[in-house]
Structure 1
Amino acid sequence: MRISSFDSARNRLIIFISLLLLLVAIGIQQWQQGGKIQTDILAMLPHLQQDSLTHSALDRVESQLADRLYFGLVSPKQQDAIAAAKLLIQQLSAAKQVFTQVESGHNDIATSINKLYFPYRFNLLTQQQQQTLAKNDLTPLINHAQSQLYSAFGFASSQLLSQDPLLLYPANIQALAQSQRLNITDGILMAHEGTNSAAIVMAKGLQSAFNPQAQQAQSAVINHALQLIQQQYPEIHILKAGALFHAQAATQTAKTEISNIGSISLIGVFLLVWLTFRSAMPILMALLTISTGLVIAVVMTLVIFGEIHLITLVFGTSLIGIAIDYSFHFYCERLAQPNFSASRTIRLILPAISLALLTSALAYLGMGLAPFPGMQQVAVFCGSGLIGAYLTLILAYPLLANGKLPQPTWQLSLAQRYLQWIIPANPRTVGRYLVPVMALFIVVGISQLHSNDDIRQLQQSPASITQSENQLRQLLSGGTDNQFILVRGATEQALLQHLTALTPVLNSAQQQGEIGNFVSLARYIPSQQQQQHNYQLQQHIYGKNLPQTLAQLGLPTDLAAPLQQQYQAAKGHYLTLTELFKSPLGQQLAPLYLPANAIHSQYGAIVLLGGIKQLPQLQQRIDAIPNVMLVDKVGDISKVMGHFRHMTLIMLALALICAWAIFSLRFGRRLALIVTAIPLLAGLLSLAWLGIIGEPINLFNTLALILVFGIGVDYSLFFAESKQNDAVMLAVFMSACSTLLAFGLLAFSKTEAIHAFGLTLALGIAFAFLLAPMVSLFAPKPMQEQ
C-alpha cells in the first residue's frame, strides 16, 4: 500500500520542526513585548467579589504598603544609632532611580503642626476636656493650668497664655502622638527599648518589590549601605521590614527549587531510561519530548497570560515526569515487539495514549477552573506541555525513533515476575482481603483529616526575616497589620462623624489588649459637628466670666477683651480635610482618605490597625457599628480557598462519573468501573495517609487529587488496552518512577502549598501504581495483532 506524502515519516518531521520554530518565534516576540516572570504572591490569589469602595481601599493599602521599607538601627549608644541612620538616609537618597520618600523624623514637625492646628484651637478639645466643660466646672482646668504656670517643666509661655489661658491646646497636640515611645532627636525618629535606642528610617521603592529587576537594584543599594554602616558602627544591630525582603526570599527559594527539582528529576529520568534501554537514542528522544513540551508550555502560558508566575515554573518542573510517559510507553512496546516499525508501534499504542491525553487534559482543565490565576497558569502550562509531548510522539518519532533497540534481556521478564507477584492467582482474593483492608485504612485515616486554608502558607519567609520584622514592629508599637477598618459615608462630614463614633470603640479595644494601636483620621481632624460642639463648650471659658477666670490664674484681666474677640472671630471657621492634607502631617495621612469619584459614590476612610491580638473579638465590635467594616483580605481569601476546596472535590466526583461514562463506550460498564475505581481508591488512600500522619489538607491537596485522577487513570487505561502486560507494566513502572521523582521532590519544598501538592500527588501516584495491575484481572484478553 502506497503511503501518502502527508503520512510519511519525513513529512511529519518537517511539520514538527516547522511548528516548533513557529512557537519559538512567537515566544521570542512575547518576551520582546513585555512578557515577564511574575514573583508577586498576590498575583496568584483569587479575586474577591467586593464593592468598588472596598476594592479601592484594598488597592490603596497594598500600593502604599507593598513597596515601603522600614529599617531599625539599634545600638546602646543613641548617637551611634542617629549617625548610622543619617548615613543610611544619605546612601538611599543618592539612589534616586531606585528609592523615593527616604525619611525619618523632622525637627520642624512641631512647627508645622502648630501652624495647622493653632488657628482652630477653639474647635479642639480632648475627651476629658469635653466632659469637664460639659459640667460647667472650670476648677479642674484652672488647677491644671496653674500647675503648668508654676512648674519648672511646664510648657506655658506668655504668648501661649495670651491666646489660650487655660492651656487647652497643648493637651490636644499631645493627643496626636501615636506612641509615647517614639520621639524625634536630631531629625531622626527614635524608639527606645530597655537600654537600647533604635533609629527608624523609612523608604519607598520606585518600582514594585515583586519586580525581579527592582529587587536586584534595591537589594544592591541596601546591601552596600548596610555594609558601610557595619564597617563604621560594628555594634549596630540592623532590623529590616518590608515586602521586598519577603519577595526576595520567595524569588530565591523558587529559583533554587526550580534548579534543584528540575535538575534532579531530569538526571533521574535519564538514568532510568539508560538503565532500561541501554541506548542513547531513547535518552535523546526523551530529551526532545521534554524540551518540546517545555517550549510549548512556556509559549502558550505567555500568549494567554502575558507572564509566567514563579510558582508556575516550580510546579512546571513536574512536567518532566509526566511528558516523558509517552516516550516510555513507546519504547517499552518496542522492547516487547522488536520487529515492529516506529509507525506501527505508534498505531498500536495510539488509542491508549490518546485516551490518556484526554483524561490528563480534563484533569488540568479541572485545575484551571479554580479561581487562582497561579493555578490556572499551572493548568495551561502542564496541559499544553503534554500536548507538545503527544505531538512529538506522533510527528517526530516515526522517523527519528525508528532505530533498533538492544535485544531485551531482564527488563520484561522482571516486569512479568512483578505482575505474577502482585496479582493474586484467585481474583476473589481482592474482594475478600484487599478491599476490606483498604476500606478500614480509608475510614480510619479520613476520620482524622483536618483542614487549614490560611493563605499565609502560600509564602513562608525564613525565620531571619520574620524575626527581624517582628522586632521592628514591636518597636513601632505594633506596626501595621494586613487587616484594616473601612469607614464609609454619604458625605465628607458624615464620614468624619462615623470615624469619630468609631474612636471610643477602638480605644476600648486597645485598653482590652485586642489591638496594639490604630491610625485614624479622626485623631487628627474632628468632624464639623464635633468642632462646632467643642466651640460651644468653650463658651463657658470665653463668656462673661472670663475676667474672673483670668484673675484666678493671676493673669491680667485686660486680656479678656482680645480673647473674646478671637473667640468670636473663630465662629464658623472649621478645620477641613483639604487644609489638613496641605500640611506635612496631612500628606502622610492623605492615603487614608478615599474621596467620592466616578467609580464609587461614597466617601471612605481607612483606619490602619497594628498589633492585632484578638481578631474575633475585634470583629464583633466592628460588626455592631453601622457604616464600618473590618477588611480582612487574608481571612476572606482563606474562606474562598476553603469553599473551592469543597467545590474541587465535587468537581472531581463529577469528573470520575464522566470518565466512567466515556470509558463505558469502549470497555463496557464493568471494566470502565474498574478503570475509574483505581484513581478513586488512590486518591482516598492518599487522603487517609495524610490524615494518619497529621498533615492538614487545603485546596492544593485537592488540586493534586485531580492530577492523581488524570495520571492514575492512564495506568488503568494501559492495562485495559494491553496486548502485552509485561510491556505495559514496565512502562507504568518507569512512568511512576519519573512522576515520583518530580512530585516526590516537590514534597520537600519550603513553600507549604507546593509541599502539599507534591506530597499528595506522590502518594496518589504510588497507590495508583500498586493498584493499576489489578485491572488486568478483569480485562478481556485481546486478539494478537496480525
Structure 2
Amino acid sequence: MPKAPNARQQMLIEQLRDGIIARLVMVGIEGGDAASRAELSRQLAARLRQDPAFVGVQNGEASVETRDRSYFFDNRYLLSPAMSAERFSSEGLQAAIGASVEKLSGDAGLMLKKLLPHDPTGETLALLEQFAGGQQPRQLEGAWASRDGTRALLLVQTRADGSDTDAQAASLERVRETFASLPAHQAGHRLLLSGTAVFSVTSRERIQSDIHRLAIGSSILVIGLLLAIYRSPRLLGLGLLPVASGLVAGIAAVSLVFGNIHGLTLAFGSTLIGESVDYSIYYFIQRAAGIEASRFWRTMWLGVLCSLAGFAVLLVSGFPGLAQLGVFSMAGLVGAALVARHVLPALMPQQLQISDLSAPARLLDRIFRSLRRLRPLLLAGALAATAWILWQGDTIWNRQLNALSPVTRAEQDLDMALRNDMGAPDMRYIAALTAPDAERALQAAEAVGQVLRAEVAAGRLGGFTSPAQFLPSRQTQQARQQALPDEASLRSRLGDALRELPVRAERLEGFVADVQKARQQPLLSRADLAGSSAALGVDSLLIQRQQDWLVLLPLRAPAGQEELDTRALEAALQGAGQSGVTVLDILEESTSLFASYLSEAKLLVACGMGVIFLLLLAALRSLPRALRAVAPLACAVIGVTAGLLASGTSLTILHLIGLLLVVAIGRNYTLFFDAGSHAGNAEQQRQVQVSILVANLTAVGSFGVLAFSSVPVLAYLGCTVGPGAFLALVSAAILARDQDASAH
C-alpha cells in the first residue's frame, strides 16, 4: 500500500483489515440426507457460538428465527424508520391504518391479517421494507439449505482481523475440528468453507508449498551442476557463502530502515540477489584458468555498480514494497560482493582442482562463433518485435489485481455457488464513515441513511444495510418513544381515525396496550440483541477500533444494473451535508491502486535502466562498447516480452520485476564477453565463456522451475526470468565483439 494513502485508499485498507469482507466465512455441509445435514448444522452452530474465536453464527434454525421475530416485533416502535409524532396524530393514524387495510388484499395479506390487531400502523412491514432486495436462503428441515437442497448452509463471522492470516487460519481449523467432533458427523458428510479468509489462508499455504517444492528442485539442479564443475563440497559451500551473506545483509538493512520486512520483499529480494551465486562461479572458473584477479574484479565491480544504480531508483517509490525491494537488493548485493571479494580468496584452497573444462570450452567457443552469423537476423528480429510491441501500446499490461490471484477456478466456483445459495451480497460497494463513539456513529449512520433512502426512492440505488436498522441511536429511540401518545390521547385519536375505516376500535386493544408498553420500555442496547441475527448485523457493520468507531453501509446497485454510480452517490451525500462519508467501489479502487503501483514501477525501472547505460558509458569510455553491452539485454527483454504476448499472456507487475531480473543477471554476461575479448590468450577466453555458460545454467535452472508453479506470482517470474536469462546469453554471444585471430 502507498506510504500516504488518500481517503479512498485508506478506506480500502480498513476494509481489508477490519471490514466484514475479510471476516465472513460461508460454510456448506454435504452428504447424507437433509435431516442429518440440518442436525449437523445446528450442532456446529451451537458449538461455534460458544467459541470466542467467532463473533456470530447464522444458520436459519428456528430458535434464532424466533428470537429475530421477537426482537423486531417487540421493539418495532423503537426500530421503525416510519415512526414520528405525525404518524400517531388522527390523520397519521387514519392514513397508516388505511394503507394496512389496503394491503390485506396483496401478497402479504395473510401476515398482515395476523399483525393488524397489534400493529395496524404497519411498523413491522416498514422494518421489513428496509431489507427489501436482499435474498434469504432456502429453509429445509429447520435450517438454511442450498437452492437444490443438497447442502446445509451456515454464515460465520470470525473475531480476528482480516489481515491476521495466522489467526484466520486458526479459526478455520477450529471450524474443521469442531465439525469432525460432532456426534452426528458420519463418514459421508463433507465440510465446505469459502470466503475471503479462506482464500487468504489457502493462498498462503499454496504459495509456501510451491516455494518449498520448487526450491528443493532448483537447489538439486544448481548444486548438482556446481558439484560436477567444482568436484569439491568445500568449493560448493564457499560458492554459496556470498548468497547467504547477501540475504543476511538485505534483511538487516530493511529491518533497520523500515522496522519490518514484507514477505514479498523477502521473496523477490532473495531472487534478485540470487545472481550473487554467479560471483563465485566466475571467480573460481576464471581463477583456475589463470586470469588475473584484478581484471576479473574490475569487471565484477562494474556489474555490481550497474545493479546498484538500477535498484537505487526504487528508493524514491511512494510504495513501501518497492522501496523495501530497493534497499534489500542494494544491501544484499553489496554484502555478497564484499564477501566474494575479501572472504572467498582467504578461504579457498591454494590450488583449485576443478573439472577439466578445456574440451567443453572449445566446443562452446565454436558454437558461440557460429552464432555470430545470426547477428543481422537477431537485430532485425529485435526491431520487428519492438515495432509489434509498440503497436499494441498500453494493451500489453494487465492492471487487474485478480491476474495475480492464486485462487483456483474450482475455489471461485464454490464461492459463487455458496454466495448464490445464501443470497450473500458481493460487498463490492460500501459507504463508510468514522465517529468518536458508538452513539455518534449510529447517529451518523441514521443521517446517511436518510439520504440513501431518497436515492433508493429515486431509483439510483438498489438498497443498503445500516447498523442503525438493527440498533438505532439512543437519540433516535428517545425521539420515537416520545412520539408515542399516552393511552387517553391514543384512544381519542384512534376513534377519529377509524370513523371512515372498516376496523372496529375494540379489535385494536392489543395495539393500544403495546404502544403504552413501548412508551415505558428501556431503550435498546447491544446486549438486547444477544442470540439474534441482528447482533451479527451490528457487530459486522459497527466496528470499534483503537481511536474511533468505523461504520459500514453495504450498498446494492439498482435492479437490472450491474454497477453503481459511486461518484454520483458521493456527490449526493456531500450535497446533503454528509461530506465525511466515503463511497467505495472495492473492485475499482483495488484495480486503480494496482494500476498506479504498476505505472510507478514501469517508470522507476525505465529510469534505472537509463542510469545503468550512463554508468556503462562512463566506465567503458566508449559509446560503441556501451551500446554493445546493453544491446543483448535489450534483445533479451524485447524477446521474452514478445514471447509472452504471443502466447496470449498480458504483462503484470511480476513480469516487470522478472524483466528487471533479466537485466540484472544478463548484464554480467555482456560484461564478461567484453572482458573475455581482452583476455591474454585463447584458452583464457574460452574459460571466460565457460564461466558465463555455467552461471547461465544455474540461473535458468533455478528460475525456470518456477514456471511450473500453480501460483501465478511464481509462474510469471519463472516464465520471464528463465527464458530471459537464456536469451540474454544467446544475444550476448551473437553480439559479442569478434576476437582477434591472433589470439587463437
- SS where residue 553 of structure 1 aligns? coil
User: Does 2:342 align with 1:395?
Assistant: yes
Change (3 A) 1:563 1:311: same
Contact residue 104 and residue 110 of structure 2 kept, 8 A? no
What aligned pairs does 1:719-734 form with structure 2 within 5 A after superposition? 719-722=673-676, 723-724=678-679, 725-734=685-694
User: Does 2:648 align with 1:697?
Assistant: no
User: What is the match of residue 156 of structure 1?
Assistant: 114
User: Does 2:281 align with 1:328?
Assistant: yes
User: Does 2:47 align with 1:62?
Assistant: no
**Shift in Å, 1:350:** 0.9
Change (3 A) 1:378 1:565: closer
Out of 409, 420, 445, which is 2:358 matched to? 409
Out of 28, 31, 35, which is 1:72 matched to? 28
Which of 57-66 and 262-271 deviates more? 57-66
Contact residue 221 and residue 702 of structure 2 kept, 8 A? no
Out of 695, 698, 715, which is 1:738 matched to? 698
User: What is the match of residue 108 of structure 1?
Assistant: 67
User: What is the match of residue 200 of structure 1?
Assistant: 154
Which structure 2 residue ranges, 5 or more long, are not aligned? Answer: 575-580, 680-684
Please report the RMSD computed on the Cα atoms of aligned residues, expressed in angstroms. 4.8
- SS where residue 144 of structure 2 aligns? strand
TM-score, L = length of structure 1: 0.75
Change (3 A) 1:782 1:302: farther
Change (3 A) 1:169 1:655: closer
Contact residue 748 and residue 755 of structure 1 kept, 8 A? yes
Contact residue 75 and residue 235 of structure 1 kept, 8 A? yes
**Counterparts of 1:609 and 1:587, CA distance in 2:** 17
Matched letter for residue 55 of structure 1: Q
**Counterparts of 2:106 and 2:204, CA distance in 1:** 60
User: What is the match of residue 39 of structure 2?
Assistant: 83
**Shift in Å, 1:325:** 0.5
**Counterparts of 2:289 and 2:51, CA distance in 1:** 67
**Shift in Å, 1:375:** 4.6
Contact residue 71 and residue 240 of structure 1 kept, 8 A? yes
**Counterparts of 1:469 and 1:569, CA distance in 2:** 43
**Counterparts of 1:318 and 1:295, CA distance in 2:** 14
User: What is the match of residue 298 of structure 2?
Assistant: 351
User: Does 2:396 align with 1:454?
Assistant: no
Give deviations 1:48-68, integer Å, cap 9, x for gaps. 6223x9736852663243344
Contact residue 137 and residue 147 of structure 2 kept, 8 A? no
Change (3 A) 1:89 1:558: closer
**Counterparts of 2:253 and 2:122, CA distance in 1:** 68
Contact residue 701 and residue 756 of structure 1 kept, 8 A? yes
Contact residue 48 and residue 637 of structure 1 kept, 8 A? no
User: Does 2:490 align with 1:546?
Assistant: no
Matched letter for residue 499 of structure 1: G
- SS where residue 192 of structure 2 aligns? strand
- SS where residue 404 of structure 1 aligns? coil
User: What is the match of residue 640 of structure 2?
Assistant: 686
What aligned pairs does 1:471-490 form with structure 2 within 5 A after superposition? 471-486=417-432
User: Does 2:412 align with 1:466?
Assistant: yes
User: Does 2:696 align with 1:747?
Assistant: no
- SS where residue 606 of structure 1 aligns? strand
**Counterparts of 2:568 and 2:604, CA distance in 1:** 38
**Matched-pair identity in %:** 17
Change (3 A) 1:655 1:176: closer
Matched letter for residue 441 of structure 1: A
**Counterparts of 1:621 and 1:234, CA distance in 2:** 53
Change (3 A) 1:669 1:535: farther
**Counterparts of 1:137 and 1:217, CA distance in 2:** 52
Matched letter for residue 351 of structure 2: G
Matched letter for residue 439 of structure 1: L
What aligned pairs does 1:113-152 form with structure 2 within 5 A after superposition? 113-118=72-77, 123-124=82-83, 139-144=98-103
Give deviations 1:152-181, integer Å, cap 9, x for gaps. 766536xx72x64x3512322433556463
Change (3 A) 1:552 1:86: same
Contact residue 71 and residue 241 of structure 1 kept, 8 A? yes
User: What is the match of residue 553 of structure 2?
Assistant: 607
Out of 224, 237, 243, which is 1:284 matched to? 237
Which of 697-706 and 312-321 deviates more? 312-321
Give deviations 1:261-283, integer Å, cap 9, x for gaps. 22222221222223334444432
**Shift in Å, 1:737:** 1.5
User: What is the match of residue 222 of structure 2?
Assistant: 269
Which structure 1 residue ranges, 5 or more long, are not aligned? Answer: 1-44
**Counterparts of 2:283 and 2:237, CA distance in 1:** 14
Change (3 A) 1:618 1:77: farther
Matched letter for residue 124 of structure 1: M
User: Does 2:718 align with 1:758?
Assistant: yes
Matched letter for residue 636 of structure 2: A
Out of 418, 421, 429, which is 2:370 matched to? 421
**Counterparts of 2:152 and 2:592, CA distance in 1:** 39
**Shift in Å, 1:284:** 2.9
- SS where residue 705 of structure 1 aligns? helix
User: What is the match of residue 441 of structure 1?
Assistant: 385
**Counterparts of 2:653 and 2:702, CA distance in 1:** 20
Out of 593, 613, 628, which is 1:660 matched to? 613
Give deviations 1:399-438, integer Å, cap 9, x for gaps. 32232325543132233222321224xxxx84x5542232
**Counterparts of 1:696 and 1:677, CA distance in 2:** 24
- SS where residue 653 of structure 1 aligns? helix
**Shift in Å, 1:202:** 1.6
**Shift in Å, 1:439:** 0.6
Contact residue 581 and residue 590 of structure 1 kept, 8 A? no
